[in-house]
Amino acid sequence: MSSHHDYIIEITAQHDALKPFAPENGQPLRFKIGDAVIYTNEYGARFRRRVAGFYQPAGLSGLYARGARYLLDSSSPWMPVSESSLRPDDSA
């Protein structure tokens, strides 16, 4: 790949062809706004959060193509996370 833009185009095309994530694959999103969740980051640290919104980019987005759908009430509320990094917080 020659550039970041080319990479985004390629993974977006893969996403569009395979439709591996909800809601494009016909499945509903697992969580709704206000749900209490436990977010596990890439280092294994866990945080109790609430779903604050859904990530819906206007243009091409590598994050979206890789499954990021949720915005959380965190110190980085603009950074979307994937459903696979969330689980219900039953203690809430």
Distance of CA 12 to the CA centre of its chain: 14
Q: How far is CA 14 from CA 7, 9, 65, in A?
A: 11, 9, 8
pLDDT in tens, 34-89: 999 999 999 999 999 999 999 999 988 999 999 999 999 999 999 999 999 999 99
The β-bridge partners of 87 are 38
Here the CATH number for the domain that contains residue 51 is 2.30.30
**pLDDT given for residue 20 in this prediction:** 82
Residues 8, 60 contacting (CB under 8 angstroms): yes
Distance CA 48, CA 63 (A): 22
Distance between CA 53 and CA 33 in Å, rounded?
6
Answer positive or negative: Cα dihedral of 84, 79, 1, 13: positive
Q: What integer pLDDT is reported at residue 36 of this predicted model?
A: 98
Question: What's the domain range around 19?
Answer: 4-88
Q: pLDDT digits over 5-23, tens only?
A: 888 888 888 887 878 888 9
- Provide the whole-model pTM: 0.87
**What's the structural domain count of the chain?**
1
